[in-house]
Amino acid sequence: MLRLALPKGSLEKQTLQLFEDADLHVRRSSDVEYKATIDDPRVAEVAVLRPQEIPDYVADGLFDVGIAGRDSIEECGRDVVSLGILRYSRDTDRPYNIVLAVAEDAPWQQVEDLPDDIRVSTEWVKMTERFLEKRGVKAIVRYSYGATEAKIPDVADAIVEGTETGRALRANKLRILDTVVSSYTEIIANREAYEDPAKRKAMEQINTLLQGVLEARDKVLVKLNVAGDDLDKVIAIIPSMKSPTVNELFGGSGYAVETVVPKSEINILIPALKDAGATDIIELPLAKIVH
């Protein structure tokens, strides 16, 4: 039913793992093969392509659904439907920020200070031109084929570059003036395909699986037993998505409690639960959480 385009390169590993965790295993003959398959009735065709090209291909109707960064979508500037943000990027779950940077000792403190005919080097030419034009800056924007941070001051006066941590910019003694766009990975759809009810339902179901995996990644299920006299103390300290599930044990010997908690809190929570009277505490990983 759906023709699906997945990103190659820096987003590839995390995207394929996300689909694997969503029980949508992507199969291909080798890591360099661009054609792939997913054994699912909702997916008819899969291709692994450069993420910069995917928004154009989806807009043109070559694919019904694609995965690409917001930066590539903005650079493309085409009409596609965003089905949702997938909160992972190249290396972390933080956004990939596309920033405008200048030398540390440059006189400009904000975008509007930049002079006309300033030289800007970037991989995102169209997006940069639109951004600067809206801020009243007439710049000479040139495409960069790499090593963009090293082009100031000899080749460029400013750069528009992507970063998650800012480490490379600081190492090259550059200072961020502004953020052009904060880019997460998104799942996008061709507008005509989205208007087809059957295809839209398939798109939404696949998005539900992917979002469910991401929702579950930083959470665990905690199960425990507790005597009736200690139940209120345990409930008072245990977090939950809504409220903990509490069931009386057979024979009235106590209660079984279970809840979903952030993984980051579990190392503090388990000893506290034990101190409050909880016993038989079990921590379990979660595959998906679907609201």
Tell me the pLDDT tens digit for each residue of 239-273. Answer: 887 889 999 999 889 999 999 999 999 999 999 99
Same domain, 7 and 64: yes
Same domain, 87 and 119: no
Q: Which helix (H) or strand (E) holds 131?
A: helix 125-134
> Does 273 fall in a domain?
yes
Q: How confident is the model at residue 133 (pLDDT cuts 50, 70, 90)?
A: very high
Q: How confident is the model at residue 4 (pLDDT cuts 50, 70, 90)?
A: very high
- Strand 158-163 and strand 118-122: the pairing is parallel
Same domain, 199 and 67: yes
Same domain, 273 and 254: yes
User: 12-21 vs 197-216: helix axis angle to the nearest 10?
Assistant: 100
> Does 122 fall in a domain?
yes
- Calpha distance 162→149 (Å, rounded): 10
Same domain, 87 and 193: yes
Same domain, 230 and 250: yes
**Strand partners of residue 43:** 2
Q: How confident is the model at residue 165 (pLDDT cuts 50, 70, 90)?
A: confident
Task: Give 267-288 pLDDT, tens digit per residue.
Answer: 999 999 999 999 999 999 999 9
- Calpha distance 217→232 (Å, rounded): 29
Residues 7-28: b if buried by 16+ CB within 10 A, e if exposed: bbeebbebbbebbebbebebee
Same domain, 60 and 192: yes
pLDDT at 84 over 90: yes
Per the structure, the count of domains in the chain is 3
> Does 291 fall in a domain?
no
pLDDT at 289 over 60: yes
Which stretches of the chain are assigned E, i.e. beta strand? 2-7, 26-27, 35-38, 43-49, 65-69, 81-86, 96-103, 118-122, 139-143, 158-163, 174-183, 185-189, 219-226, 245-248, 255-262, 279-285
- To the nearest whole number, what is the mean pLDDT of the chain? 94
Structural domain for 246, as ranges: 219-285
Assign residue 276 the CATH number of its domain: 3.30.70.120
Q: How confident is the model at residue 94 (pLDDT cuts 50, 70, 90)?
A: confident
Q: How confident is the model at residue 93 (pLDDT cuts 50, 70, 90)?
A: low
Q: How confident is the model at residue 113 (pLDDT cuts 50, 70, 90)?
A: very high
The pLDDT value recorded for residue 91 is 57
pLDDT at 90 over 80: no
The pLDDT value recorded for residue 131 is 97
Same domain, 190 and 233: no
The pLDDT value recorded for residue 88 is 78
Same domain, 248 and 175: no
Assign residue 196 the CATH number of its domain: 3.40.190.10
Task: Give 27-47 pLDDT, tens digit per residue.
Answer: 999 988 999 999 999 999 999
> Does 281 fall in a domain?
yes
> Does 290 fall in a domain?
no
The pTM of the full predicted model, rounded to 2 decimals, is: 0.87
